[in-house]
Amino acid sequence: MNTWPAFGASQQDLQRLLAEFDYSAGVFDVPANRVRPADERAWRSPYANLVLHPMSRNRQA
C-alpha cells in the first residue's frame, strides 16, 4: 500500500507530471547520505523521500 491515493493521485499521475515538466525523480538514501535514482522499489514503497530534479539543470552541468 502507498500514500498516493490519500492525495488524490497515483504513481502514474506523478510520473506523467514529471515527464510533462521535464523532471526526474530520485530518492534520498538516508544510510548512504545521497540521492539515488527512483527505482521500482521506491515507487512500491509506502514511504519514500522523493527528490525532484529539473532535467534542464542536468543538461547544463
pLDDT in tens, 9-21: 888 888 999 999 9
In Å, what is the CA distance from 43 to each residue of 14, 27, 49, 59? 10, 10, 11, 25
pLDDT band at 58 (very low <50, low <70, confident <90, very high): low
